Amino acid sequence: MENQKPIFDLKGQSPLNAVTELHSFFRDMQSYYKIAQGQLLGKIETADSTEAAHLKTELDEINQKIEYFHVLNNAASIADTVMHTPAMIAEFRSEA
């Protein structure tokens, strides 16, 4: 059995670019939901009790998404930092 080095197969993307793009995407999604959270909080302040209850359910969903994207953003940030060390840059440039 031969030991073959894995090949990154995301057409047109290097692993370095892919992780950087994911980091940016997760950060942008977290910001998107934080803005949505602020808008929803403003609506809750002026809503009647029935509408406010519905909006609070939406707010709970948004808060959960913020938490998830926060974790994904942090993980991608760590990966982005590690992958841009000289050793990793050299590793992935040798595949090009």
13-68 pLDDT, tens digit per residue, is: 888 999 999 999 999 999 999 999 999 999 999 999 999 999 999 999 999 999 99
Distance of CA 61 to the CA centre of its chain: 17
CA nearest to 13, candidates 83, 85, 87: 83
Instruction: Please say whether the beta carbons of 62 and 37 come within 8 A.
Output: yes
pLDDT value of residue 12: 80
Query: Is this structure's pTM higher than 0.75?
Result: yes
Give mean pLDDT, residues 7-18: 83
pLDDT score of 96 more than 60? no
